[in-house]
Chain A
Amino acid sequence: MTPLENEIAGVKRELISMWILVQSQLNKAKEAMVKFDKDLAREVLIKEKRVNSFELKIDRDCENIFALHCPVAVDLRFLLAALKINTNLERIGDIAAGIALYVVESSVNFDIKALESTSLIRMYDEAVNILIDTRTAFEKEDTELARSIFKRDDVLDTINENAPVTVAEVIKGDMNSIPEALYILSVIRKLERVGDQAKNIAEEIIFYIEAKILKHLASSQKMIDGEEDE
């Protein structure tokens, strides 16, 4: 391996480690929410600093590679993608911390029935699965899997669009549940953004591997882009 290849492999390893941490943060925030475990929620808040450290380290490593190795072609595309994936992962980390903060600050625990009737649990699981699959797509350089993310994000969008109605139903059922219902609505909004971040990451994976730019295309176009060329 050339020194540049070694450096790039190092950035890839760091990104994957960050990915695993962010995924763990999301899972723990969910568990804290479902079990109303404030200690676990606090752990997520503390570990958020590690996510931030990863972001700074990866930024700095990329900066050094640009300065010292003048990367081109696939190496250049990888590093540009790595910088953006890094930012997206850090934001997902922020979202996990935000959810954990609700648990820490909430005086009432979440009603499981409300979490289910609003499809929050299903949405959460799908968001985590999408994040896992973007990591797999990145590790295996699998652009087909990356493309599948665009369609799967529609599930999150639908639950988010229906949220005003489903959350209103929770409130109608028990007027005392308004604070809890508002937390649920906020978490749904946050998870919708996880889907958007995952889509951004999928676009970067395709850019890095295929040199195709999918930004600002409709999901349906993103799904088919490039397949006609093959």
Chain B
Amino acid sequence: MEHTVVSSSKFNAWFGDNHVVKDVSIGIEKNQVIAVMGPSGCGKTTFLRCINRMHELIPGATTKGSMKLYDDDVYTMNPIWVRYKIGMVFQRPNPFPNLSIYDNVVAGYKLNGLKMPKAEMDQIVEKSLTSAALWNEVKDSLHKKGTFLSGGQQQRLCIARAIAMQPEVILFDEPTSALDPISTSSVEQLFHELKENYTLIIVTHNMQQAARVSDKTAFFYLGELVEFDDTKQMFTAPSDVRTQNYITGRFS
């Protein structure tokens, strides 16, 4: 489909003999926010990491099945290029501690030896920080270390770093679980703004967050994709009893 950005077909992932993701087929449309939820150990984070091939960095990890970015098979693409196009933000804010705010934003370019005129780099920094709703807070201290920022600001800096590479998709692995409610709220607000230009896939344990921020929700259980539907439908009348039991807290 023209609007499908990421799609998987009968996708499986293993850690050694442990079959973690089982026959997952899903199509994710452009400019949508997708929440991925499920109990601990259900394979949701592994599936997320398989989308940009972070999974394969772990020894003994294997995959089978198809994972595509538009029509391109992610697993035949250059993994570096895959991670340009599919950025990732992690649970804990992880700005490079020795780099300034400015250098953190363009770290992807610098670490990969991509050179460009300073004016162009300045533009990328401003645009990325503006998109991450951080520019006004840090524009006068761009050359201070990123670690001086608050937790919420650091997470938005990491989002700016992902945006700077102009990805198609940004993966978020529990992006607000280490943040206070105010910072969480600002990051959630950011999701609404980012979806204008990017497709966001967010793993979250916070069901209210999934309900608040996402257009569609995927529910994983024991490695299977049990249900993938509009978030409103999922939280009012889920079609699978396992989904209902999970979101109503009847099992964990």
Contacts and interface: CB of A to CB of B under 8 A. Distances in A.
Contact of B237 (A2, A70, A71, A73): A73
B47 to A, nearest CB: 23
Nearest to B207: A72
Contacts of A73: 235-238, 243-244, 247-248
A46 interface: no
Nearest to A212: B237
Interface in B199-252: 207-208, 211, 235-238, 243-244, 247-250
B208 A71 contact: no
Contacts of A77: 236-237
Contacts of B211: 72
Nearest to B211: A72
Nearest to B237: A211
The residue in B207, B236, B243 that gathers the most chain A C-beta atoms within 10 A of its C-beta is B236
The A interface is mostly helix, strand or loop, or mixed, namely helix
Nearest to B208: A70
A76 B235 contact: yes
A75 interface: yes
A73 B240 CA distance: 11
B237 A75 contact: no
A4 interface: yes
Contacts of B247: 72-73
Nearest to B210: A72
A165 interface: no
A58 B161 CA distance: 50
Interface string A58-94: 0000000000001111111100000000000000000
- Most chain B beta-carbon contacts within 10 A, residue among A4, A72, A76, A77: A72
Contacts of B250: 2, 5
B236 A75 contact: no
A211 B248 contact: no
Interface in A171-225: 211
Nearest to A4: B249
A2 B250 CA distance: 7
Contacts of B244: 73-74
Contacts of A75: 248
A74 B249 CA distance: 11
Interface string A1-40: 0101100000000000000000000000000000000000
Nearest to A76: B236
A5 B211 CA distance: 20
A74 B248 contact: yes
B19 to A, nearest CB: 29
A211 B244 CA distance: 12
Given A72-B236, A73-B238, A211-B237, A2 B208 contact: no
Interface string B17-50: 0000000000000000000000000000000000
Given A72-B207, A73-B238, A73-B243, 17 more contacts: A2-B249, A4-B249, A70-B207, A71-B248, A72-B235, A72-B236, A72-B247, A73-B236, A73-B237, A73-B247, A73-B248, A74-B244, A74-B248, A75-B248, A76-B236, A77-B237, A211-B236
Interface of A: 2, 4-5, 70-77, 211
21 contacts: A2-B249, A2-B250, A4-B248, A4-B249, A5-B250, A70-B207, A72-B211, A72-B235, A72-B247, A72-B248, A73-B235, A73-B238, A73-B243, A73-B244, A73-B248, A74-B244, A74-B248, A76-B235, A76-B236, A77-B236, A211-B236
Leading 7 A-B pairs by shortest Cβ distance = A211-B237, A72-B235, A73-B244, A72-B247, A2-B249, A75-B248, A70-B208
